[in-house]
């Protein structure tokens, strides 16, 4: 960092967080996970081990992020923080606005932003008194019982702050500099006041910032004026975000035997400051519980900012039990990570062939129609080479999903609606064909956008 107080492309950002134990029991340690919602930010260490924290104590954790040179002023990066300590699941977020939008009047005029400066005695750009650089704005030369106004109207997608430097030389208590936001007076300054920085909250929406120098009916003191410089406007980009996160990387049921019931938890978290919604799709061979109640295997969820959902995935092994190699799909309105795919597997305890499918078969895809992804399931009775290809309705190859040797068993592969060049394909009917030793089968599916 260049220590100018702003996050800029190419910089390394070091963030120190204080974690306190304000509860009634010591924390025996845990993990902290960091997720970025922007490809322009790389986290040095995405998983940090946490030591134990005694009651009333605290620790400091350092997170380092590298900002890419390709980032632009106005970009907003959100870091999602997930803390898993003992039985506690805590979510937090950190916003990193890139660059700043402001005016130090270094162009020597008011043309760099849509300033309104229409008073009879307008504000001027001058170089005699500045906070930094070569120029600052100075209130117009006015007489008693009059005022001069400088204003600008901007649109902010989310709440933020405005800061600026001001200097005043006037009759104390009577002639003053005023600052207004949407015609609400937030502060006044009067008398002889040297340069100082001021900062004020700004609501979302269309906002008018206004600086007014106003004189009463008599007496002048000092330079009888005011100056402003180095204004920093709110970042106009929307800082609202949802970040989908799960600490689970796969769900495995090992050494499964017929007639027994097995269960594992699946945690879905919304790490940041906007509501998140989507669907958790779990293969039909499993039951799904939420808050101890059974829910749909294609469950539509909604999580408020910082909220977690803990699903229990239950497998009741049939007889004969079979191996399962499938996927869980978690979709969301997280624009940076709209879906997470997790392997879910069942491995039988025996070494006989009860887990091997009786025949090789292309079983179909689900959902169908689909958007944006669908899962294609197929079974192989014997190990061998398998090819699974996507074709358009004209018979042209769109993408090869599988082209390799596979073991005997049940298989699943997800198609994300993209061709071999990673380009999204258009809506329509597509054919998918499975080729294995002694077996060829084609089925149809429909992509609807």
Domain range annotation of the chain: 12-97, 101-233, 240-355, 357-449
Phi, psi at residue 117, to the nearest 5°? Answer: -145, 65
Phi, psi at residue 7, to the nearest 5°? Answer: -90, 125
Give yes or no for residue 353 having a pLDDT over 80: no
Fold equal for 240-355 and 357-449:
yes
Give the predicted TM-score (pTM) of the model.
0.58
Q: Which two tokens stand for residue 249?
A: 């990387």
Give per-residue pLDDT as tens, 321-343: 777 888 899 999 988 888 899 99
Phi, psi at residue 280, to the nearest 5°? Answer: -105, 115
On average, the pLDDT of the chain sits at 89
Among the four given CATH numbers 2.60.40.1930, 3.40.50.2300, 3.10.20.740, 2.40.50.100, the one describing domain 357-449: 2.60.40.1930
- What is the rounded distance in angstroms from the CA atom of residue 187 to the CA atom of residue 214? 13
- The full DSSP string for 431-448 is EEEEEETTEEEEEEEEE-
pLDDT confidence tier of residue 430, bands split at 50, 70 and 90: very high
Give per-residue pLDDT as tens, 439-449: 999 999 999 87
Give per-residue pLDDT as tens, 13-51: 999 999 999 888 888 888 999 999 888 999 998 899 999
Q: Reduce the secondary structure of 59-71 to three states and give it as a string.
A: EEEEEEEEECCCC
pLDDT confidence tier of residue 314, bands split at 50, 70 and 90: very high
Give yes or no for residue 79 having a pLDDT over 70: yes
Instruction: Judge whether 213 and 142 are in contact, CB under 8 Å.
Output: yes
Q: At 55, is the secondary structure helix, strand, or coil?
A: coil
The pLDDT, as a whole number, for residue 120 is: 95
Q: Tokens 């910089």 label which residue? A: 11
Instruction: Single out the residue of 438, 448, 388 nearest to residue 413, CA to CA.
Output: 388
pLDDT confidence tier of residue 349, bands split at 50, 70 and 90: low
Counting Cα atoms < 13 Å in the Cβ hemisphere of 175 gives: 27
* Angle at the Cα of 366 from the Cα atoms of 361 and 370, rounded to 5 degrees: 135
CATH number assigned to the domain covering 12-97:
2.60.40.10
User: What average pLDDT does this structure show over 396-418?
Assistant: 90
The pLDDT, as a whole number, for residue 86 is: 78
The pLDDT, as a whole number, for residue 5 is: 58
Give per-residue pLDDT as tens, 110-141: 998 999 999 999 999 999 999 999 999 999 99
- The full DSSP string for 349-360 is S-SSSTTS-SS-
User: What average pLDDT does this structure show over 303-309?
Assistant: 93
Give per-residue pLDDT as tens, 189-240: 999 999 999 999 999 899 999 999 999 887 777 789 999 999 988 876 566 6
What distances in angstroms separate CA 286 from CA 249, 263, 293, 294, 312, one per listed residue? 18, 10, 14, 11, 10
* Angle at the Cα of 184 from the Cα atoms of 183 and 187, rounded to 5 degrees: 120
The pLDDT, as a whole number, for residue 239 is: 63
The pLDDT, as a whole number, for residue 89 is: 87
Among the four given CATH numbers 3.40.50.2300, 3.50.50.60, 3.40.190.10, 2.60.40.10, the one describing domain 240-355: 2.60.40.10
- What is the rounded distance in angstroms from the CA atom of residue 314 to the CA atom of residue 321? 15
Phi, psi at residue 128, to the nearest 5°? Answer: -75, -35
The pLDDT, as a whole number, for residue 24 is: 86
The pLDDT, as a whole number, for residue 170 is: 93
Q: Tokens 């390394």 label which residue? A: 12
Give yes or no for residue 61 having a pLDDT over 80: yes
Among the four given CATH numbers 1.10.10.10, 2.60.120.260, 1.10.3720.10, 3.90.180.10, the one describing domain 101-233: 2.60.120.260
- What is the rounded distance in angstroms from the CA atom of residue 373 to the CA atom of residue 390? 13
Give per-residue pLDDT as tens, 147-191: 999 999 998 877 788 999 999 999 998 999 999 999 999 999 999
Give per-residue pLDDT as tens, 285-297: 999 999 999 999 9
Instruction: Judge whether 84 and 247 are in contact, CB under 8 Å.
Output: yes
The pLDDT, as a whole number, for residue 366 is: 86
Phi, psi at residue 260, to the nearest 5°? Answer: -100, 160
Is the preceding peptide bond at 320 cis, omega within 30 degrees of 0?
A: yes
Burial of 111 (0-12, 13-18, 19+ CB in 10 A): exposed
Q: Reduce the secondary structure of 35-47 to three states and give it as a string.
A: EECCCCEEECCCE
């Amino acid at each position: 960092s260049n220590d100018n107080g702003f996050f800029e492309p190419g910089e390394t950002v070091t963030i120190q967080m204080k974690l306190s134990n304000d509860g009634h029991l010591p924390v025996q340690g845990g993990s902290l996970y960091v997720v970025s919602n922007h490809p322009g930010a790389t986290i040095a260490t995405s998983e940090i081990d946490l030591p134990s924290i005694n009651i009333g104590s605290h620790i400091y954790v350092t997170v380092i992020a590298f900002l890419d040179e390709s980032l632009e002023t106005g970009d907003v990066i959100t870091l999602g923080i997930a803390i898993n300590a003992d039985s506690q699941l805590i979510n937090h977020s950190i916003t990193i606005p890139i660059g700043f939008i402001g005016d130090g009047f270094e162009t020597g005029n008011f043309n760099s932003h849509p300033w309104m400066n229409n008073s009879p005695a307008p504000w001027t750009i001058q170089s005699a008194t500045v906070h930094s650089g070569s120029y600052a704005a100075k209130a117009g030369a006015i007489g008693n019982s009059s005022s001069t106004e400088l204003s600008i109207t901007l649109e902010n997608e989310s709440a933020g702050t405005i800061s600026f430097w001001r200097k005043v030389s006037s009759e104390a208590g009577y002639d003053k500099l005023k600052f207004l936001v949407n015609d609400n007076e937030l502060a006044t300054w009067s008398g002889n006041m040297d340069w100082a920085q001021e900062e004020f909250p700004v609501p979302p929406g269309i906002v008018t910032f206004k600086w007014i120098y106003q004189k009463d009916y008599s007496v002048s003191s000092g330079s009888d004026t005011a100056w402003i410089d180095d204004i920093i406007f709110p970042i106009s980009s929307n800082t609202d975000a949802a970040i989908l996160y799960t600490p689970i990387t796969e769900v495995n049921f090992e050494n499964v035997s017929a007639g027994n019931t097995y269960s594992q938890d699946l945690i879905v978290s919304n790490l940041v400051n906007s509501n998140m919604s989507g669907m958790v799709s779990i293969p039909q061979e499993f039951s799904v519980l939420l808050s101890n109640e059974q829910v749909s295997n294609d469950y539509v969820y909604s999580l408020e900012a910082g909220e977690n959902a803990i699903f229990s995935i239950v497998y009741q092994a049939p007889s004969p039990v079979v191996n399962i190699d499938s996927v869980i799909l978690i979709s969301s309105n997280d624009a940076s990570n709209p879906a997470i795919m997790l392997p879910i597997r069942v491995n039988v305890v025996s070494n006989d062939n009860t887990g091997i499918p009786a025949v090789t078969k292309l079983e179909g895809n689900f959902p169908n129609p689909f958007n944006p992804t669908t899962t294609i399931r197929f079974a192989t009775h014997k190990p061998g080479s398998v090819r699974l290809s996507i074709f358009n309705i004209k018979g042209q190859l769109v993408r090869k999903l599988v082209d390799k040797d596979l073991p005997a068993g049940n298989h699943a592969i997800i198609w994300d609606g993209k061709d071999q060049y990673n380009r999204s394909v258009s809506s329509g009917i597509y054919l998918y064909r499975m080729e294995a030793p002694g077996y060829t089968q084609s089925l149809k599916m429909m992509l609807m956008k």
